[in-house]
Chain A
Amino acid sequence: MTSNEGRVYDVGYKPFEGELEGSFALVRSIALDTMRRALGLRRRGRSKIVPWALVAGTTFPALVTLIIMFFSGSSPFASGADPLSGSRDLLETVVLLSLLFTAFVGPTALIPDRRDGVLNIYRSRPVRARDYLLGRIGGTALLVMLFVAVPLGLLFAGQAALHPDGIFVGVGAMARHVPSLAGTILALSLAFVSPVMLVSLWAKRSGAATGMFMVAMLVLDGFTEFVSEAGTGIGSRVLVLLSPIENLLATRDWLLNTTATDNGVGRAVLLADMPIWSGAVVIGSVAVVTAGLAMWKYKKELGR
């Protein structure tokens, strides 16, 4: 069958006629981009070295612990020990690596967009400051949580698998600890991501932000230890709450029901004169202040 009618198309350009997605998809795209950038995925090889070395650094102790447990048959269930002891010890090891990881990946969330002028692109897209920050800061917080959750999850699965009555009984026995572990991981992420974002809101270079964050964290930690040893007055007790690391460890002790004797470090003693949950309150408050400041700054940057 033939037709005399015809149409000419410009194949060089096709208008977009699909459906547009909403703000949830927008936040997801920004968060995924944040995580890819932080881990150096689809970037040059050099940008992968530090994050992946740190990931290996957290996973390795979990694997070693599991291997020792497997070959020695020293499952906490078999010996009647507290099944959370391995997780507590691992958290102790992971805290410093998490701090380094956050210091390295945190500044890459906000600073490059400002430095390279890329915010201009967000200004011509239906991206609110809220969406942008949820994607960038939320993506970083999620990544830091995964950084800790992966080795803990490995340990969790390994311990469950070594249960004398089988893996399913093991999972059941471990499951009741999941909320406390999840809360601790969230606290760790907030404790470190909030201050690194505070620095990143104003720093012009990622390297400088990493340095400032690390110095601030270590100085505050040293200062609070000094203050706590120097006196027990109300001033000293309040000053103890300045250190995100101490607040995190106090929160961990609170959520995982640890005492100073249990973990052998005695950090909770620093907060002995304060309610043990006060560390969690400070972590939450710093997160809220950071979110408020970030919204204030980026509403101006993005126009809404």
Chain B
Amino acid sequence: MNDSLISLQGLHHAYGSQVALTDITAEIPSGQIGLVGANGAGKSTLIQNLLGILTPTQGSASLFGLPVRENLMAVRRRVGYMSERTALPLDQTAADFLIYAAQLAGISNNDARQRASEILTLTGLHEERFRHIREFSTGMKQRVMLAQAIVHDPDLVFLDEPTAGLDPEGRDEMLALIARLGSFGINTVVSSHVLTDIEAVCNWVVMLDGGKLLRSSALEALIDSAVIQLEVFGDTGPVISELSTRGAQVSQSGSVLEVRLAGEDPHSLVMDALVSARAGVRSLKSKRTSLEDVFLAEGETT
């Protein structure tokens, strides 16, 4: 029994002669999943294959252990989708639209009214529920999009570029909302080329580049926050020796040393080594390996 949330087996998708996804194989666990890649990397094509809108040219995709193409309606009962492009009926009120969006998932009229009211409150739109969507700001429209994606209580929601077009304040609010989804028991796939957004809300990362899978792994394993950049006066040899003795990995670039210690914070170890080597410190700072560093490094190696 496969307990992955998403299972991709040799997934390949081509639009005529243009290949969008090449032989993607991955097992992705439940949680908050970030789908990252530059524009044209194949993120939206992958989401559309997972929603069954597109049929893979080769290979297969499964959600909740169910092959998507063979169980399309069963899968769609359990997912929500917020598309990249604003997709809203502008002539409806937010409340009417959410009620209808819930009914489309099979929720009865009375329950749909209840759900719509709760989700409008959750997304901060309750006061505006009787206004026509046409009159909403971009940020409010994005929140309506998110609301319709979760109004039917899906197990998994796909969010395609959820912060696109938002000002910094709107972006923070949207990320805070997305981060809360996990506590509601809703898994998310957040597609974005803004890597800091992914770092803020996800615990698993799938990296795509040019339709190929670069990495699929836990965010923690990708970004290494336990690195210290150190520059000392004089000879670096004794310092390197002391650090190595204490089990740290040291790399040198000119007079600058980069110190890593697997699974631990190397600050106290560096202090001890500096004291033992009687070395003077010119500079010392923590260096954080961001998702962007990893993405760029992966891109260079392929």
Using a CB–CB cutoff of 8 Å, the interface residues on chain A facing chain B are 10, 12-16, 18-22, 25-26, 29-30, 33, 37, 42-44, 47, 112-113, 116-128, 302-304
What is the CA–CA distance of A80 and B171 in the complex, to the nearest angstrom? 77
What is the CA–CA distance of A262 and B107 in the complex, to the nearest angstrom? 53
Residues of chain B contacted by A33 (CB below 8 angstroms): 100
* Chain B min CB distance to A33 (Å): 6
What is the CA–CA distance of A56 and B122 in the complex, to the nearest angstrom? 43
B152 at interface by CB-CB < 8 Å: yes
* Chain A min CB distance to B117 (Å): 11
Residues of chain B contacted by A127 (CB below 8 angstroms): 76, 104
Is the Cβ of B105 less than 8 Å from the Cβ of A18?
no
Is the Cβ of A12 less than 8 Å from the Cβ of B77?
no
B88 at interface by CB-CB < 8 Å: yes
B89 at interface by CB-CB < 8 Å: yes
Is the Cβ of A29 less than 8 Å from the Cβ of B81?
no
- Given known A44-B132, A304-B52, contact A126–B106 (CB-CB < 8 A): yes
Is the Cβ of A121 less than 8 Å from the Cβ of B53?
no
- Closest Cβ neighbor of A20 among chain B residues: B106
What is the CA–CA distance of A29 and B52 in the complex, to the nearest angstrom? 23
- Closest Cβ neighbor of B149 among chain A residues: A124
- Given known A18-B111, A25-B106, A42-B96, contact A124–B184 (CB-CB < 8 A): no
- Closest Cβ neighbor of A12 among chain B residues: B122
* Chain A min CB distance to B93 (Å): 7
Which residues 80-130 of B have a CB within 8 angstroms of A? Answer: 80-81, 83, 85-93, 96, 100-101, 103-109, 111, 115, 118, 121-122
Is the Cβ of B153 less than 8 Å from the Cβ of A16?
yes
B51 at interface by CB-CB < 8 Å: yes
B165 at interface by CB-CB < 8 Å: no
* Chain A min CB distance to B223 (Å): 29
Of A47, A113, A119, A303, chain B has the most CB atoms within 10 Å of the CB of A303
Residues of chain B contacted by A112 (CB below 8 angstroms): 89, 91
Is the Cβ of A303 less than 8 Å from the Cβ of B108?
no
Which residues 56-82 of B have a CB within 8 angstroms of A? Answer: 72-74, 76-77, 79-81
**How many A-B residue pairs lie within 8 Å, measured between CB atoms?**
112
Is the Cβ of A120 less than 8 Å from the Cβ of B83?
yes
B295 at interface by CB-CB < 8 Å: no
Is the Cβ of A15 less than 8 Å from the Cβ of B185?
yes
What is the CA–CA distance of A128 and B72 in the complex, to the nearest angstrom? 10
B268 at interface by CB-CB < 8 Å: no
B204 at interface by CB-CB < 8 Å: no
- Given known A42-B92, A42-B96, contact A124–B158 (CB-CB < 8 A): yes
Residues of chain A contacted by B92 (CB below 8 angstroms): 42-43
Residues of chain A contacted by B152 (CB below 8 angstroms): 16, 125
Count class of interface residues, chain B: 35 or more
Is the Cβ of A15 less than 8 Å from the Cβ of B81?
no
Given contacts A25-B108, A125-B152, 12 further A-B contacts (CB under 8 A): A13-B122, A16-B153, A20-B107, A43-B91, A43-B92, A112-B91, A116-B87, A116-B90, A117-B86, A118-B88, A124-B76, A304-B73
Question: 3 smallest A-B Cβ distances: which pairs?
Answer: A124-B81, A117-B87, A20-B106
What is the CA–CA distance of A145 and B51 in the complex, to the nearest angstrom? 37
Within the complex, which residue of A13, A18, A29, A302 is in contact with B118, where a contact is CB–CB below 8 Å?
A13
What is the CA–CA distance of A18 and B108 in the complex, to the nearest angstrom? 9
- Closest Cβ neighbor of A28 among chain B residues: B103
* Chain B min CB distance to A121 (Å): 6
B183 at interface by CB-CB < 8 Å: yes
* Chain B min CB distance to A118 (Å): 5
B148 at interface by CB-CB < 8 Å: yes
16 CB-based A-B contacts, threshold 8 Å: A10-B184, A14-B118, A16-B111, A20-B105, A117-B85, A117-B87, A118-B89, A120-B87, A121-B81, A122-B104, A123-B51, A123-B81, A124-B76, A126-B76, A126-B105, A304-B72
- Given known A13-B118, A20-B106, contact A44–B91 (CB-CB < 8 A): yes
B281 at interface by CB-CB < 8 Å: no
B54 at interface by CB-CB < 8 Å: yes
What is the CA–CA distance of A303 and B91 in the complex, to the nearest angstrom? 26
Residues of chain B contacted by A122 (CB below 8 angstroms): 104
Residues of chain A contacted by B93 (CB below 8 angstroms): 42
- Closest Cβ neighbor of A108 among chain B residues: B91
* Chain B min CB distance to A123 (Å): 5
